[in-house]
Amino acid sequence: MVFSSLTFLYLFLPITLLIYFLVKKTPLRNAVLVIASLFFYAWGEPKTVFLLIITVFIEYIFGILIENSRYDKKKCKTLLIISIAFPLLLLGIFKYLGFFVKTLNILLFGLLPEVKITLPIGISFYTFQIISYVVDVYREKAPVQKSFFKLLLYISMFPQLIAGPIVRYVDIMNNVDKREISLKDFATGLQRFLPGLAKKAILANFAGKLATTLIGGDLAKLSTAGAWLGIIAYTFQIYFDFSAYSDMAIGMGKMFGFEFLENFNYPYISKSITDFWRRWHISLSSFFRDYVYIPLGGNREHHIRNMLIVWVLTGFWHGANWNFILWGLYYFLLLVLEKKVIGKYIEKMPIINRLYSLFFIIIGWVFFYFEDLGSLFKTLGLLFGISSNPGITATDKILFANYLPLLIICVIACTPVKKAVMTVLNNISLKGEKEQKIVGGVTIVFNFILLLLSTAAIVGSSFNPFLYFRF
């Protein structure tokens, strides 16, 4: 099931919330949430839901074994290694085996049979989540969870199961046993969920249409201007798509009584590429930092080697294809460059540093978008005018003029305008009861309109996939 679908919004979510709030006790609420979450997952993955349950169960056992082997450091460590290897092995099979076989076949001249395995949705996310749990138990950062059921709740919670954020056990473990959801919390959650929904159903999807029109088809006729407009549209699409999913996850988490950490922090106003990776998919980069980079030595020993490993893995996590590895390497090079050479100069150049960042971020998305390397390099060539294709066509001008209102809104939505607006509104409501009620009324009407427009956009589109859905 997808958040931006009618089945989810008008059947699954209202029914789940109704039942959840009808049962008052936390253990019952946990049961409701687990059952609903497994149903949610099974709706899209009727067979591999069992893979999810089995993986969590095995890791649950490992967690207990690790806890009980504290006296024997060697045994403890061995258990940890196996408990990390097991889900990674599953991830490797389900996500990467086909790719490995394909690559080997190039060297073996097609000897091996083709392997095509459907990727279970969310496996990249829940694999990392369960690994973070066993490692935190090992490091004694988190107490072992003695109830399999509660561990399953943590992993399978539907707001964050399919596309993140990669929630750490330590962040929600207190809420597992005790949750109090006030009306204010619920309303706050709603006010996070609904704008996220609109961001996805309207902004991301419409930007996606522009991207597909330009770079989603035959590149033979694509002009330089068309390539730029197309990749910029994609830049908007992927940000709104993914961050909207996190918004909805955080909003729904709040409605159910859980606090998830922020996953995006206005990445397109970054002042450097280093800054960008502190703002984009924060839960992933912090996972790699805490569970790969620092254990390998961080910036203390083998700094460059560690960065290389982390960035190749980051790229590869996003997709079983060479273009994703290239994307990771691309950022590795930029980050090393910044760390070792230009970082301190970039810092001191306001505006230029933001333009510099945007430029490289946009180019980065070219590596991310094209899984076919031929198209990838052709588009790169196009962007820099190295091609026989025209510079600009009438179609490009018309498309730009048509989509201009959307593009303007997209640009605004990339900036922390919302914060500024919220501050202004808050100051107005502090002035008095009447002002507060007016602002409140406006908020209610605004959110209602968002719901209406999002529903209309979903009904109006027959095809509404999430981009980060290959995880």
Partner 1 sequence: MDNSEDKLQQKSRSERRAKIVFERNKRLISFCLTLVIAATTVLIGFISIVDKDKEISVKENRKLAEKPKYSTSSFFKGEYTSSFDEYYSDNFPLRNMFISINKGLESLLTKKSNKNGIVIMNKANSDMSGEGIDKDGNKVTKSSAPIEKTTLPPIEQQEVTQSGSIILTDNSAMEIYYKNEEALENYANLINRIKNKLPNTRVISMLVPTSIEVLTPDPTYNTGEYSQKAAIQFAYSKMQKNIYKVNSLTTLNIHRDKYIYFRSDHHWTALGAYYGYTAFCKTTKQTAVPLSKLQRGRKDNFLGSLYRQSQSSVLANNPDYVDYYLPRRQTTGEIYQTIDMTDEPYPLSVIATNITDDNKYLVFIQGDQPLEKIETSNKNGKSILVIKESYGNALVPFLCDNYQTVYVIDPRSINGDLATFISANHINDLLIINYMFATSNPTFIDAFDAMVGY
Residues that bind partner 1 (CB under 8 A): 1, 5-7, 9-11, 13-15, 17-18, 43-47, 183-184, 186-188, 190-191, 194, 202, 206, 209-210, 212-213, 217-218, 221, 393-395, 397-399, 401-406, 409, 429-430, 433, 436-437, 440-441, 443-444, 447-448, 451-453, 455-463
Report angle CA 10, 248, 147 to the nearest 5 degrees: 95
Nearer to partner 1, 35 or 444 (CB): 444
**At closest approach, how far in Å is the CB of 42 from partner 1?**
8
**At closest approach, how far in Å is the CB of 125 from partner 1?**
20
Candidates 235, 208, 212, 175; CA nearest to 366 is: 235
Nearer to partner 1, 157 or 255 (CB): 255
303 as an active site residue: the answer is: no
**At closest approach, how far in Å is the CB of 224 from partner 1?**
16
Q: Whole-angstrom Cα distance, residue 471 to residue 469?
A: 5
Nearer to partner 1, 18 or 421 (CB): 18
**At closest approach, how far in Å is the CB of 10 from partner 1?**
4
**At closest approach, how far in Å is the CB of 276 from partner 1?**
27
The count of C-alpha atoms lying within 13 angstroms of the C-alpha of 19, restricted to the half-sphere facing its C-beta, is: 14
Q: Whole-angstrom Cα distance, residue 233 to residue 400?
A: 10
Nearer to partner 1, 66 or 250 (CB): 250
**Joined tokens for residue 7:** 């089945």
Nearer to partner 1, 353 or 393 (CB): 393
Candidates 160, 170, 153; CA nearest to 193 is: 160
**At closest approach, how far in Å is the CB of 368 from partner 1?**
22
**At closest approach, how far in Å is the CB of 179 from partner 1?**
17
**At closest approach, how far in Å is the CB of 394 from partner 1?**
4
DSSP per-residue codes, 258-277:
--PPP--S-GGG-SSHHHHH
Nearer to partner 1, 37 or 191 (CB): 191
Nearer to partner 1, 345 or 446 (CB): 446
**Joined tokens for residue 29:** 């609420």
Residue with tokens 């070792």: 340
Question: CB of 241 within 8 A of CB of 466?
Answer: yes
Residue with tokens 């991301």: 204
The residue from 281, 302, 303, 318 that is catalytic is 318
Question: CB of 403 within 8 A of CB of 210?
Answer: yes
Q: Whole-angstrom Cα distance, residue 203 to residue 469?
A: 18
**Joined tokens for residue 47:** 């067979």
Nearer to partner 1, 198 or 238 (CB): 198
**What single-letter amino acid sits at 457?**
A
DSSP per-residue codes, 311-371:
HHHHHHHH-SSHHHHHHHHHHHHHHHHIIIIIHHHHHT-TTHHHHHHHHHHHHHHHHHH-S
DSSP per-residue codes, 368-436:
HH-SSHHHHHHHHHHHTT-SSS-S--HHHHHHHHHHHHHHHHHHHHTTTHHHHHHHHHHHHHTT-HHHH
State the catalytic residues.
Answer: 318
